[in-house]
A and B are shown apart, each in its own frame.
Chain A
């Protein structure tokens, strides 16, 4: 397990079912030893030394089949690959699927306790009459959040990441299949409450939305800059509490803009309803665009 953030290769569950880790090759990997190396192990000698029998010193028996003075049989292999290549491939596939089906996917990220789920419940209540909505919930443990969303009457699937501290694109692709997300809908992905790790994992979403509540510190954008840089929209949540707090809104927004000058900010409160119309309009505009994109693709296919 990671000592920094507690994440690891724990058991991932999607909707109570254990996720088989098919990202790894099935079964054990067997490496083919070159024939001459098998011969070499038979005479129990170090791979760095030539095979030595009583009447023979064979410098051609090593892996490379040749010998140069002072050189071991080791060789260099150039790789030049991004460590996150696999995740990015899954994310690209997700994005292509979402685009082709007119699904507007939003990845909600924040620290724990910023009010993500409550905001989501209110948003769903306001949108669900006219809009088909699906929700993927990410948490290390429990199905509580998905249950809260289902109580609103929309399909929700819980991903338990076990020891993992973020959702990745593969988990989301599996969850999308299981949810059978329909065309022209809105898909909310509520990431694990964590301002660090989810920043690096593209899920294929249209936008990352970072939620900062006014009960946190103004300097969160400076402390966790990766997340604020990766986001397109910041929801400054719990604004109804501002009269009781020493939170400096302008400073928080200034810090966020230092990291990401193009970050759009909406002041919001699920209690007073402040900012909800702006937030809902923002979603509707994005959704119209997603549908328009799908219609364009369909038209091109038809031609």
Chain B
């Protein structure tokens, strides 16, 4: 998906935090990206570097924490690991697993000075 918009949103969140917590330099940014979140990580790294130029986060390193995807099979009433959105339940083979975790994009924390 459009990693440039996401990178801009990340910078916006950082700038808002800077206003409230008065820090002047961001050293590290941790993002939590779900495996089903439809994000090209390499592209996000590139876009982050571009949008943070001349900003408070221009020297910040981007660390991405992968969040494994977990689904719910309503037939087996079990949690099952997921790799794609069209995975079948490994136990009963039925489709339509409900995604419980691993489809979100979050700014987790920042290391600042």
Q: Which residues of A contact B (CB under 8 A)?
A: 1-5, 7-9, 23-25, 29, 31-34, 37, 47, 63, 72-87, 163-166, 168, 196-197, 199-200, 221-222, 225-226, 229, 255, 257-262
Contact = CB atoms under 8 A, between A and B. Distances in A.
Given A7-B5, A76-B110, A226 B86 contact: no
Interface residues of B, number: 45
Contacts of A81: 13, 106-107
A4 B107 contact: no
B86 A2 contact: no
Contacts, number: 142
26 contacts: A3-B43, A4-B3, A7-B3, A7-B5, A8-B4, A9-B4, A9-B8, A33-B24, A74-B111, A76-B112, A77-B109, A81-B106, A81-B107, A83-B31, A85-B9, A86-B9, A86-B12, A87-B9, A164-B5, A166-B1, A196-B38, A197-B2, A222-B84, A222-B86, A226-B1, A259-B86
A31 B56 contact: yes
A258 to B, nearest CB: 4
Given A63-B113, A75-B111, A79-B110, A3 B9 contact: no
B48 to A, nearest CB: 11
Given A200-B38, A258-B96, A78 B109 contact: yes
A2 B3 contact: yes
Which of A3, A32, A83, A165 neighbours the largest number of chain B CB atoms within 10 Å of its CB?
A83
Contacts of B1: 4-5, 165-166, 196-197, 199-200, 226
Identify whether the interface residues of A are mostly helix, strand, loop, or mixed: loop
Contacts of A163: 4
Given A63-B113, A78-B109, A200-B1, 12 more contacts: A4-B1, A9-B8, A9-B51, A74-B112, A77-B110, A80-B107, A80-B108, A82-B105, A82-B106, A86-B12, A87-B9, A163-B4
